[in-house]
Structure formats: structure tokens, C-alpha cells
Amino acid sequence: MTIAFGFLAGMMLVSALGVVISRNVVHSALFMSGSFLGVAGFFVMLNAPALAAFQVLIYVGAVTVVILFGIMFTQKPQVRRYRSIINRQFWAGLCVAVGVGAFLSYVLAAEDWSSTAPGNGPREVAQIGRQLLGVAPGSEIFALLFQVVSVLLLVAIVAAIVVSRGKVGTGVDRGVEE
């Protein structure tokens, strides 16, 4: 377990650093999918295999592809110099990030979590489903949250179409003829 933990943590954090310091935007996107795969492995270790499947489908599949589409629409994939991809707050940003990370790590490690033992996660998909729909005892709030998220997804889809569409009446076939 420790070996798997070390491997996954190394893969996840190295890929996350690769997203930030890679000079090619496409490489950043691929590093991001590697980092998401590491998180999916952690979900398997934490007794949530169904969530790991969601993670691989949604993040490694869908979000990476959507971001690659965004890259294809907006820029030439080429290696750039660091001066042109990173703004002047490089060291200030690094100090802030290290401070935030050290503070969070210290608080989370110093806190007394009383009795902790692995193995409490909902391993069965049926149990996750009942909790997500608010049927299981103690999870009634999810009956509301699930519907709120459903409405939010609908609004987001409509908003994405409205925002990314050009002005009405311009262009022959919008998206192709600019």
C-alpha cells in the first residue's frame, strides 16, 4: 500500500508541476490528464472505485478533450520562452503557494482527527447511489443538492452555447467561416 501510495503521489505531483512549468500548452494538457489518473488511483485506494471510474470518464476523458479543443481553437501549439508564458509575479506566486501549502499541510497534520481507520468508504455502487439520491439515512440533504446540481448543469450548457455563439446574422456557417 505504501509503495502504491508513493507511486501515485509522485505521479500526481510531478504531473501537476508539469502543468505549471511546461512551456508547451499541449504538454500541459497531457500532464493534467496524468495528474487526474493519479487522483483516480487514490480513489481506488480509498474504497471508492465507482468514483474512480467517474474520474477517468469525466476528467481524463471529457475535460482533457474539451481543453484540447480550446487549445486548438485559440493558439498555435508551439514551445514558448518562459518570459512570455509566466508573468512577473513568478517568485511572489511561488512564495504564496508554498505558504498556502505549508499552512494547509500543517493544519491538516496537526489536527487531532480522534479515531481514524480506513475502510469506512461506501464500496458498493448501490450505496453511493442511495446516498447521492438522498434515500439512505443521514443523507437527506442530497435529495436537494442533486436537483440543484442538475439545474446548474442545464444552465451551464445553455450558457456555454449562448456565450460561445457569435452574433446572430454574421458569418455563413459560424465556427467555420470567421
Partner 1 sequence: MPQIPSQAQQVLDALLASPALEAYLVVGAIMFAIGAWGALVRRNAVVIFMCVELMINGVNLTLVAFADFLPDAGGLGVSYAVLVLAIAAAEIAVGLAIVLAVFRSRRTVNVDEVTSMRG
Q: What is the largest CA-CA distance in the chain?
A: 65
Quickly list DSSP for 1-37: -HHHHHHHHHHHHHHHHHHHH-SSHHHHHHHHHHHHH
Q: How far is the CB of 60 from partner 1 (least distance, A)?
A: 11
Our CB check for partner 1 shows the closer of 84 and 173 to be 84
CB of 4 to partner 1, least distance (A): 9
Please choose, from the candidates 8, 18, 93, 16, the residue with its C-alpha nearest in 3D space to the C-alpha of residue 44. Answer: 8
Considering the complex, what minimum distance in angstroms separates the CB of residue 172 from partner 1? 16
Tell me how far, at minimum, the Cβ of 174 lies from partner 1, in Å: 10
3-state DSSP assignment of residue 124: coil
Cα(35)–Cα(49) distance, integer angstroms = 17
> One-letter amino acid identity for 134?
G
Q: Smaller CB distance to partner 1: residue 108 or 176?
A: 108
What is the helix (H) or strand (E) element at residue 88, kind and residue range? none
As measured in angstroms, the least distance from the Cβ of 156 to partner 1 is 3
